[in-house]
Structure 1
Amino acid sequence: MTLFDKGGAKLNPNGCIKIHLGELLKKSGLSKNKFCQKAEIQRSQLNGYMNNTITRLDTEVLVRICRTLNCSIADLLEYIPPDIQ
């Protein structure tokens, strides 16, 4: 059985990674469609990253997201220790 916290991140005894793509995309003012076009990602990929349901991070996709949003990887990803979950 897989458990999720309120933000959609998987509960894990080692902690989890929270993806802040939704907030960054909102701040950018780009539509989801325009963002997907510029970042060269599929809408299903975008939804997985925004809903924090992606299970394997693709470094090439992360690079394109950061380039498109002009942000750092630290802006995009946050490590949540297990005691805070």
Structure 2
Amino acid sequence: MEHVYDTVIEEKDYGRVLLNVKEIMDKKGINRNMLARLAGIRFEVANRLYTGNVYRLDLDVLARVLHVLQCSVEDIIQYEPANK
């Protein structure tokens, strides 16, 4: 028996989450190597945070970065609502 599935993929715009790590690091004179060393994270992770090329964020890593940069979650993460 043949099944026909009528599938429609609906793409929704939920907005986006932006990271301001680069701006804070630049203000404080902290480069990616320093962040990696001080936070105990790999350079690749520090680089992704710096460039904003992050798809998942480990809360332990976030806590380490916040500690090193001496800032709060609100300073690092910004939510930009979808355009309606």
TM-score bracket for the superposition, by shorter chain length: 0.7 to 0.9
- Displacement after TM superposition at 1:50 (Å): 1.8
Q: Percent of counterpart pairs with the same letter?
A: 27
**Aligned Cα root-mean-square deviation (Å):** 1.5
Q: Which position in structure 2 is the counterpart of 1:33?
A: 33
Query: Which sections of structure 2, spanning at least 5 residues, go unmatched?
Result: 1-11
Task: Give unpaired runs (5+ residues) of structure 1.
Answer: 1-11
Instruction: Indicate yes or no: 2:15 matched with 1:15.
Output: yes
What amino acid is the match of 1:42? R
TM-score (norm 2): 0.79
TM-score, length of structure 1 as denominator length:
0.78
Q: How many residues align?
A: 73
2:66 is matched by which residue type in structure 1?
A: C
Greater than 2 Å deviation, 4+ residue runs: none
